Chains A and B, each alone.
Chain A
Amino acid sequence: MATTTATLTLSSTDLLSDELALTTTATLTTAGTATGVTQASGLSRKTTSAADAAGIQAVNLYRAGDYTANGANKVYIKNCSETAAEYFTVHIDQEEIGRLYAGDWMLMPWNATSGTKAQFTVTIAATWAAGDTWEFDGVTLVAANSTTADIAAQIDALNYPNWTTTYVATESTIIFKARYATSASEEVWVTADGTLNTAGNGTANISSAAVGSKSESDITIRPSVHTAMTYETLLIHE
């Protein structure tokens, strides 16, 4: 079991007429237990920039679907800028949490509530031939033979940038599931067949399509200026 601690020290000798000196330490555990969290994204550092102010884009730091919902996740973010006026605006989904000005850091728990992922089923059927192709998500399958189950296995073995697959050996169906929860344009993705090029009358029909819903708690930050701004972040999670 890993032991990870987070200590906060708040201090001021002149904010109040008495000294402020607060120190607290939390041992980071999994939800509702005394067991230490065991996973971390690692401290990362990145610089944002855009061609002009109109080109400023929010950066998606963490996608909720990648982490345990309702887990005892903790997010650390620091604005490494040294220019006082530069800030990152931190959002969870569409809600603005706050602005991290130059030198500021934050540590907060994160619920990581995701949406649902779109999915659909492809059935390989009818007469295929070796050399037939099926293209989806920018990935092209070239059939090694005419056996539909083998072709389904080939489709399952490919790596899709936006989808994961599930396949049961000897069957001719593959279930595709979106890597990220999103509702945007999924209806097109899941109802449009991939591009099939067959010498026979092979089919790769899509059925059982289900549109997903967007994530409810992705963490994004938006830089205040288009010139270079650097942040650091660390996620400790279940």
Chain B
Amino acid sequence: MATTATITLTSADIAGDPVNVSKTATCTKAGATTDLDQTIGLNRVHLRSTTNKVLLAANAEGNNLAAKVYIINKSEDPSLYLTITINAQTVGKLYGGDWMFFPWSQTDTSASIEVAATNWTSSTGDIPVEYALFHEDTDFLTNA
């Protein structure tokens, strides 16, 4: 069961010469060539909380196992952003249309992935957020 993730980063003009990065990763279990075989599927929520909400709850059983997370801010308003936090550590902001794909260590149950629609107001509208998790542990628990 091969799941692949391909990134293509391109720019004709951010530097004097074009940037063209294209890499494909095959999502495998930790330290193995065996493919990841589980996913929570593609989820969609509409976020209107200016405080952190758990998007993916960490499970200590997932520590040292491979897990890949995909999150995208589906807002079409470039000024609306999500603040991504892991265990009180701010990772970064996903602005409208931005996505992220990264490995996730669930070092303990505090390592949940949280999101906040930091600059949301009642007049901005909700922020649609889509996310997916690819993982390996059969006992893996998520809030999906």
Chain A residues within 8 Å of B, Cβ to Cβ = 2-16, 20, 22, 24, 26-29, 31-34, 36-40, 42-43, 70, 72-74, 76, 78, 84-85, 87, 89-90, 92-101, 103-111, 113, 217, 234, 236
Query: Using Cβ atoms and an 8 Å threshold, which residues of chain A touch B90?
Result: 111, 113, 217
Interface string of B45-68 (1 = CB under 8 A from A): 000000000000000000010110
30 A-B contact pairs sorted by A residue (CB < 8 Å): A2-B13, A6-B8, A6-B99, A7-B8, A9-B6, A11-B3, A12-B2, A15-B1, A16-B41, A20-B39, A22-B42, A24-B72, A27-B97, A40-B11, A40-B19, A43-B21, A84-B32, A85-B31, A89-B105, A96-B105, A97-B104, A99-B30, A99-B105, A101-B30, A103-B28, A104-B103, A105-B5, A107-B100, A108-B84, A108-B102
Are A99's CB and B6's CB within 8 A? no
Cα of A4 to Cα of B7 in the assembled complex, Å? 13
Partner of A15, one of B37, B79, B91, B93: B37
* B37 nearest CB across to chain A (Å): 7
Main secondary structure of the interface of B (DSSP, over half): strand
Partner of A4, one of B19, B81, B87, B104: B19
- A-B contacts counted at CB < 8 A amount to 201
* B72 nearest CB across to chain A (Å): 6
Once A40-B14, A95-B87 are accepted as A-B contacts, the answer to whether A10 and B70 lie under 8 Å apart by CB is yes
* A71 nearest CB across to chain B (Å): 9
Main secondary structure of the interface of A (DSSP, over half): strand
State the 3 A-B residue pairs at the shortest beta-carbon distance, nearest first.
A109-B92, A98-B103, A95-B89
Cα of A91 to Cα of B87 in the assembled complex, Å? 12
Query: Using Cβ atoms and an 8 Å threshold, which residues of chain A touch B107?
Result: 96
Q: Is B10 an interface residue, CB under 8 A from the partner? A: yes
Interface size on B, residues (CB 8 A): 64
Are A90's CB and B15's CB within 8 A? no
Are B19's CB and A97's CB within 8 A? no
Are A8's CB and B101's CB within 8 A? yes
* A65 nearest CB across to chain B (Å): 16
Cα of A43 to Cα of B22 in the assembled complex, Å? 12
Cα of A76 to Cα of B4 in the assembled complex, Å? 17
Residue of B nearest to A100 (CB): B103
* A220 nearest CB across to chain B (Å): 13
Cα of A24 to Cα of B25 in the assembled complex, Å? 16
* B26 nearest CB across to chain A (Å): 7
Are B103's CB and A90's CB within 8 A? yes
Partner of B14, one of A99, A106, A236: A236
